[in-house]
Chain A
Amino acid sequence: MSDSQYSASELMCINAARLLRDGDVVFVGVGLPNLACNLARRTHAPNLQLIYEAGVIGARPARLPLSIGDPTLVSGAVSVCGMFDIFSQYLQRGNIDVGFLGGAQIDRFGNINATVIGDYHHPKVRLPGSGGSQEIAGWANRCYIITPHQKRRFPEKVDFITSAGFLNGRKERLATGARGGGPLVVVTNLGMLEPDENGELILTALHPGCTVDQVLANTGWAIRVAPELRTTEPLLESELRLLREELDPDGIYLKGS
């Protein structure tokens, strides 16, 4: 399938969906993570449990949720609880397998900045801040990051660590005692990045038609390439059809670039 046949958002969404395992308990955000989770549930992972940070457990959204607290998440869900319970009993207690993260900047060790560009107290650009991502990054067993591959989004070091990757190396994260395993895969529109034994992100896969040079040109540090560089599986017509016709028929999240 050639590049022109799908958008960058569709490419990232489908590759993120494939990372989910049947039976996973996933802490879902709106936008692409929501689409990826609902796609996985409709394809290879029918027993995926969707938990939304607004406090909804086992959601079965009948329409595309347009906010993290969309009422469609509640109707037909297994349970609804308050905000303190969702963060303490579900996330802090260790009941979440997978968390999805995004942010303005992601660095060499998978640390994420969603707070500020420039000095914290005198912000050049003030971003939304953590929301729940500090805890998701700290406490979910596995974290996946979805982000377009652009140089300004991949600096060698982030201006502010909103959510922890591996700090300055895997040992440093381990020393903090945070229970979660940290980022496992960064899905971009060019390929997949995964942490090595020291927690440094390296290029492990390219999407069909994408090149190492494109990745090097769009990453803010000299990113290393895995010795056995894979190519991701082409997108299936069936995956694209589910996304386009049923999950996001108006293209609200999928039309992007």
Chain B
Amino acid sequence: MSKVCSLSEAITRYIHDGDSVFCAGFTHLIPFAAGHEIIRQGRRNLTLARATPDLIYDQMVAAGCAKKLIFSYIGNPGVGSLRIIREELEAGRLEWEEYSHFGMISRLQAGAAGLPFMPMNQTAAPDLEKNNPNIRRVKDPYSGNEVTTIPALNPDVGIIHVQRADANGNAQVWGILGEQKEAAFASRHVIITAEEIVEEEVIRSDPNRTLIPGIIVNAVCHVPHCAHPSYTQGYYDRDNVFYLNWDKISEDRVTVNAWLDEWVYGLKDAGEYWEKLGAETHSRLAVKPRYAAPVNYGDY
């Protein structure tokens, strides 16, 4: 059964005020177009979870979508700080819950596996545990030593961008895998955004590359260039210039609001956004092909 719908329909149907949302992607495949659509539809009081909130959550926080943030690194990767989020946290206007990267991915891994928590070894660093009551300890029943425990995270909605998916939501990913798989299995509802929607036969030609099976997917949206200014391996490069520009734009709420007006509220969808970026940006982000050697599955 086809699950294909527009991104706008998927956001309307699955994301509600007050929901917890996980927009997946570790630097790679961050679904910016979905973040922009959530802003456009005016969702409020969301709990936004990501290891690295990145610009997508800085923009969503700036637009007033968020009540709370769950994270492990609030920097603008390679640039500096996420100014909006930092300002909101320092002013006490945004609730937060913080982990290390491994703590964050362990939350999803537990959620994805249907477990109540994940254990992790001691790191000797005491202060996050002192300040986050969700980080606890339990006695290992085998050795008697203490291990740290991290509770499962099961977001209401996971949004996962992929290179290609079929109409049923069988989704293939290559390049940095981040927490794409764990986020999908942990979430109650899963929205797949894909650079390409392909025939089921394409998926079946390379089953080992399928990270997310259609059986856990609710909606499949065809959204080329969804990840800009993040990137999609093999499709377009990361827009490092925009990451630097955001550092300037986000210095001031007036320029942030003007940017949101021009690039989010003023546009219909990701297609218009990509067109508006223009030919110079398109060619700057273009990437030459580098193919993998084919593998032989055997014709049994």
Contacts and interface: CB of A to CB of B under 8 A. Distances in A.
Interface residues of B, number: 56
Given A70-B238, A71-B237, A129-B98, A123 B105 contact: no
Interface of B: 26-28, 51-52, 71-75, 77-78, 81, 86, 89-90, 92, 98-103, 105-106, 108-109, 120-128, 131, 145-146, 174-182, 231, 233, 237-238, 240, 243, 287, 290
Contact of B74 (A70, A83, A126): A126
A138 B123 CA distance: 4
A121 B125 CA distance: 18
B240 A66 contact: yes
B81 A131 contact: no
A88 interface: yes
Most buried by A among B77, B102, B105, B238: B102
A71 B238 contact: yes
Contacts of A132: 100-102
Q: Range of interface residues on chain A?
A: 35 or more
Nearest to B145: A177
A138 B125 contact: yes
Interface string A71-82: 101111000111
A120 B77 CA distance: 22
Contact of B101 (A30, A125, A130): A130
A69 B27 CA distance: 5
B176 A69 contact: yes
Contacts of A134: 100-103, 123, 125, 128
Contacts of A84: 105-106, 108-109, 179, 182
Contact of A30 (B78, B99, B102, B125): B78
Interface stretch (A148-156, A158-166, A209-217, A223-231): A158-166
Given A66-B78, A69-B77, A88-B102, A139 B175 contact: no
Interface stretch (A17-25, A35-43, A50-58, A239-247): A50-58
A173 interface: yes
B72 A129 contact: yes
Closest 3 CB pairs of A and B: A69-B27, A138-B123, A164-B124
Contacts of A177: 121-122, 145-146
Contact of B128 (A69, A80, A130): A130
B126 A167 contact: yes
Nearest to A123: B90
Nearest to B233: A71
Nearest to B108: A84
A128 interface: yes
A131 B127 contact: no
B231 to A, nearest CB: 6
A92 B100 CA distance: 13
A67 B125 contact: no
A55 B175 CA distance: 9
22 contacts: A54-B178, A55-B178, A66-B240, A67-B78, A67-B240, A68-B27, A68-B77, A70-B27, A80-B176, A81-B177, A83-B105, A84-B109, A84-B182, A87-B105, A115-B127, A123-B90, A128-B75, A130-B98, A130-B101, A134-B102, A139-B121, A176-B122
A54 B27 contact: yes
Nearest to B230: A69
B75 A92 contact: no
Contact of B90 (A68, A82, A87, A126): A126
A67 to B, nearest CB: 4
